[in-house]
């Protein structure tokens, strides 16, 4: 796997590169083995991402990564849309998707629960407000969020 410092540099390079081409940098993560790491970069734009957008961003990011020679071995670079149930990683993500449904897991339990599903009610400082379908209004510190994804009800979407 890739070290924390190298991964942070990859995030910076990816963010600078995709934002310079007019895309939104959503997230970067690694997978795979130490010998053959996989670097996944998620990008977006208001009208959605096309395959050509991903290819263009991939070429630009790869050029910068190779120029900086951050990764000593060969690697696989995957650039894609964050998807319909995109991950939420930063406080700005929760601001952007206020009023949308979310599925969220916490590191530490809140009132005996570590999993919440409901509407994003907004942001208060460094905390996210979720109107959980079981617990009602819950305020969760951004540092306590282990994983958060938009939740799409395809049945309701298809009816509408």
The pLDDT tens digits for 101-156 are 999 999 999 999 999 999 999 999 999 999 999 999 999 999 999 999 999 876 65
Dihedral sign of CA atoms 110, 111, 112, 114 in order: negative
Question: Is the Cβ–Cβ distance between 68 and 9 less than 8 Å?
Answer: yes
Number of structural domains (the chain) is 2
Q: Which residues pair with 139 in a beta bridge?
A: 129
Dihedral pair phi/psi, residue 45, rounded to 5°: -155, 160
Query: What is the domain extent for residue 54?
Result: 4-80
Which of the listed residues 59, 80, 101 is the one where a domain comes to its end?
Answer: 80
Which of the listed residues 80, 115, 135 is the one where a domain comes to its end?
Answer: 80
Mean pLDDT of the chain: 92
In a domain, 86, yes or no: no
Question: Is the Cβ–Cβ distance between 21 and 13 less than 8 Å?
Answer: no
In a domain, 99, yes or no: yes
Q: What is the pTM of this model?
A: 0.82
In a domain, 85, yes or no: no
Residues 64, 35 within the same domain: yes
């Amino acid at each position: 796997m890739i070290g924390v410092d190298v991964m942070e540099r990859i995030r910076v390079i990816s963010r600078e590169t995709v934002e310079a081409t007019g895309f939104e940098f959503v997230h970067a993560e690694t997978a795979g083995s130490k010998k053959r790491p996989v670097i996944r970069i998620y990008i977006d734009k208001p009208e959605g991402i096309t395959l050509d957008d991903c290819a263009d961003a991939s070429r630009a990011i790869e050029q910068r990564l190779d120029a900086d020679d951050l990764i000593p071995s060969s690697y696989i670079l995957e650039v894609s849309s964050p998807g319909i149930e995109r991950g939420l990683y930063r406080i700005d993500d929760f601001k952007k998707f206020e009023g949308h449904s979310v599925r969220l897991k916490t590191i530490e339990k809140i009132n005996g629960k570590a999993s919440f599903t409901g509407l994003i009610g907004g942001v208060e400082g460094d905390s996210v407000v979720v109107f959980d379908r079981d617990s009602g209004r819950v305020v969760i510190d951004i540092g306590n969020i282990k994983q958060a994804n938009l939740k799409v009800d395809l049945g309701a979407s298809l009816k509408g």
